[in-house]
Amino acid sequence: MSASDKLRSRAAGGPERDLDSLLGLVARGDKEAFETVYDRMAGPAYGLIRKVVRDPAQSEEVAQEVLLEVWRSAARFDPAKGTAMTWAMMIAHRRAVDRVRSVAAEAQREQRTATAGVDISADEVAETVEAAMDREQVRRCLQGLSDIQRESVTLAYYGGYSYREVARLLNVALGTIKTRIRDGLTRMRNCLGVVS
């Protein structure tokens, strides 16, 4: 299966569906299913949290909270509202943002500004083929955005900034940021072939 076939199969709901049903088993206390879910979710969760939080030790703590939350709340996952991976990544993003908003992290925020942006290859260590494909595709699609779309989307998501903060950082009107983020994300959706 070629890389693009594999991505298409994912876009069509292939492996993601499996994860959805695994989460159903987790909801019933199935520990083996949870191990598989962990193995699928831990990399993306930890990677995303690292992007937002930066500090490895704090990121690890947040990742632990998030993955445990997946176990605790598995029964609350509603497949009608999105995939299991998206549900988990929303929890991960929220917890990561909560962490950087704590007072202790405030001092580091200014520093992060410079690095939170587009360079998504910065933290690479060993990675799976699948992650490499995702990375490559996202990178390619990001190139199709305007500068302001790309910066605002990545600052908001990887940087964990609210759109009001993004507007301040980029010195652009609030309404413009809202629109650019929506347009940029829509372009990404089309470029990545996301179906929902």
Binding positions for other proteins, 102-121, rule CB under 8 A = 102-103, 120
**Alpha carbons 179 and 164: distance in angstroms, whole number:** 13
Position among 1, 2, 129, 196 found at the interface with other proteins (CB under 8 A): 196
Position among 89, 116, 145, 148 found at the interface with other proteins (CB under 8 A): 89
**3 state DSSP class of 8:** helix
* Residue 2: CB minimum distance to other proteins, A: 18
Total residues found in the chain within this entry: 196
Q: Does 8 bind other proteins (CB under 8 A)?
A: no
Sketch the per residue contact string, 41 through 70, with other proteins: x for CB under 8 A, - otherwise.
-xxxxxxx-xx----x---x--xxx-xxx-
Element (H, E) at 160: none
Q: Does 169 bind other proteins (CB under 8 A)?
A: no
DSSP-assigned letter for residue 70: H
Choice between 42 and 172, CB closer to other proteins: 42
Q: Does 19 bind other proteins (CB under 8 A)?
A: no
* Residue 192: CB minimum distance to other proteins, A: 5
* Residue 47: CB minimum distance to other proteins, A: 4
* Residue 163: CB minimum distance to other proteins, A: 4
Sketch the per residue contact string, 120 through 159, with other proteins: x for CB under 8 A, - otherwise.
x--xxxxxx-xx--xx-xxx-------------xx-xxx-
* Residue 114: CB minimum distance to other proteins, A: 18
**Alpha carbons 72 and 166: distance in angstroms, whole number:** 33
Contacts of residues 144-152 at CB distance under 8 Å and 24 or more positions apart, as own/partner, are: 144/187, 144/191, 145/184, 145/187, 145/188, 146/180, 146/184, 148/172, 148/176, 148/180, 149/180, 149/181, 149/183, 149/184, 149/187, 150/118, 150/184, 151/117, 151/118, 152/177, 152/180, 152/181, 152/184
**Alpha carbons 173 and 159: distance in angstroms, whole number:** 19
Position among 8, 17, 109, 178 found at the interface with other proteins (CB under 8 A): 178
Choice between 172 and 185, CB closer to other proteins: 185
Q: Does 33 bind other proteins (CB under 8 A)?
A: no
Q: What's the first-to-final CA gap in the chain, in angstroms?
A: 23
